[in-house]
Amino acid sequence: MAYSVLIVDDDQQVRMMFRLVLERYGYMVDEASNGAEALRKLLNQTPDVILLDILMPMLGGEAVLQRIRQMPSLYNTKVLVVTAYPRFEKTANLDRVDRFLVKPILPAHLAQAVGEVLAIEDVKLEGDR
């Protein structure tokens, strides 16, 4: 069974890069371009991991995180905050975040972080076997 990931970021190029990396590692990937879209998607799906940007239009990452943590169906969903602003790690109300990553992030580090929060011991590219 493949793990599922929802990428929530307003930057289309970031979403595309994350998608390409994670699909290469075998993840099923969906995307949302803002927090409001993400919450609509989360009413009908339960991803294993959410990659969440903080600064987004319409509904920012902190508000999305707060709502995610109020949804019983998402209790076991891992959340990785991925932002270009390291200051948010200390100043934002990011309780119950499984990992905090700072952009830019190397593709291998992204895949490793996702694998670690899912407790996948050996994350390898398909061609690395």
| Chain segment 77-113, per-residue pLDDT in tens | 999 999 999 888 876 667 789 999 999 999 999 999 9
In this predicted structure, what is the pLDDT of residue 89? 82
User: Which fold, 4-128?
Assistant: Rossmann fold (3.40.50)
pLDDT at 61 over 80: yes
pLDDT (0 to 100) of residue 121: 57
**pLDDT tens sequence across 12-59:** 999 999 999 999 999 999 999 999 999 999 999 999 999 999 999 889
* pLDDT over threshold 50, residue 123: yes
Q: What angle do CA 63, 65, 70 make, to 5 degrees?
A: 100
Q: Which residues of 91-122 are buried (b: 16+ CB within 10 A; e: fewer)?
A: ebebeebbebbeeebeeeebbebbbebbeeee
